[in-house]
Structure 1
Amino acid sequence: MRIDVLTLFPEMFEGVFSSSILGKARDKGIVSFNTVNFRDYANNKHNTVDDYPYGGGGGMVLKAEPIFSAVEDLPVIGGESEQPVKPRVILMCPQGEPYTQKKAEELASEKHLVFICGHYEGYDERIREYLVTDEISVGDYVLTGGELPAMVVIDSVTRLLPGVLGNEMSAVTDSFSTGLLEYPHYTRPVKFRDMEVPEILLSGHHENVNRWRRQQALLRTWQRRPDLLEGRELTKEEKAWLDEWKREGLE
Structure 2
Amino acid sequence: MILFMKKFQVITLFPEMCGGVFGNSMMWKAQKDGHVTLETIHLREFGIGPRKQVDDTPYGGGDGMLLMVEPLWNAIMQAKSLDPSAKVLLMTPRGSRWKQADARSYSESTHGYIFVCGRYEGYDERIMSLVDEEISVGDYVLTGGELPAMTIIDSIVRLIPGVLGGSESAAVESFVDGKTLEYPQYTRPEVWQDMRVPDVLLSGHHGQIAAWRAKHSKKAG
With normalisation by structure 2, the TM-score equals 0.92
- Answering whether residue 137 of structure 2 is matched by residue 145 of structure 1, we say no
- Give distance in 2, aligned partners of 1:132 and 1:169: 35
Equivalent positions of 1:152-191 (< 5 A) are 152-179=151-178, 180-191=180-191
> Where do 4+ consecutive residues of structure 1 move more than 6 Å?
none
Question: Which has more strand, going by share of residues?
Answer: 2
Question: Which has more helix, going by share of residues?
Answer: 1
Partner amino acid, structure 2, of 1:192: W
Partner amino acid, structure 1, of 2:104: E
Equivalent in 30, 37, 43 of residue 42 of structure 2: 37
CA shift, 1:76, in A, is 4.0
- Give distance in 1, aligned partners of 2:105 and 2:150: 17
1 or 2 for the larger relative contact order (CA 8 Å, sep ≥6)?
Answer: 2
Match in the other structure for 2:67: 62
Match in the other structure for 1:132: 131
Residue deviations 1:110-137, cap 9 Å, x none?
3301101111101111112x01111111
Residue deviations 1:27-71, cap 9 Å, x none?
101000110011111233321111111111111111111111111
Match in the other structure for 1:192: 192
Match in the other structure for 1:115: 115
Identity of aligned residues (%): 48
- Say if 1:4 and 1:36, in contact at 8 Å, map to a contact too: yes
Match in the other structure for 1:214: 214
- Give distance in 2, aligned partners of 1:8 and 1:107: 25
Residue deviations 1:136-180, cap 9 Å, x none?
111111111111111111111110001100012111112101221
Match in the other structure for 1:87: 86
SS of residue matched to 2:94: strand
Match in the other structure for 1:46: 51
CA shift, 1:207, in A, is 1.8
CA shift, 1:194, in A, is 1.4
Partner amino acid, structure 1, of 2:94: Q
CA shift, 1:7, in A, is 0.4
Unaligned runs of 5+ in 2: 1-5
CA shift, 1:102, in A, is 1.1
SS of residue matched to 2:134: strand
Match in the other structure for 1:7: 12
Unaligned runs of 5+ in 1: 78-84, 228-251
Residue deviations 1:1-22, cap 9 Å, x none?
0000000111111111110110
Residue deviations 1:95-114, cap 9 Å, x none?
11111111111221233011
> RMSD of the TM alignment (CA)?
1.3
Equivalent in 12, 19, 24 of residue 24 of structure 2: 19
SS of residue matched to 1:187: coil
With normalisation by structure 1, the TM-score equals 0.81
- Give distance in 2, aligned partners of 1:68 and 1:119: 15
- Say if 1:172 and 1:178, in contact at 8 Å, map to a contact too: no
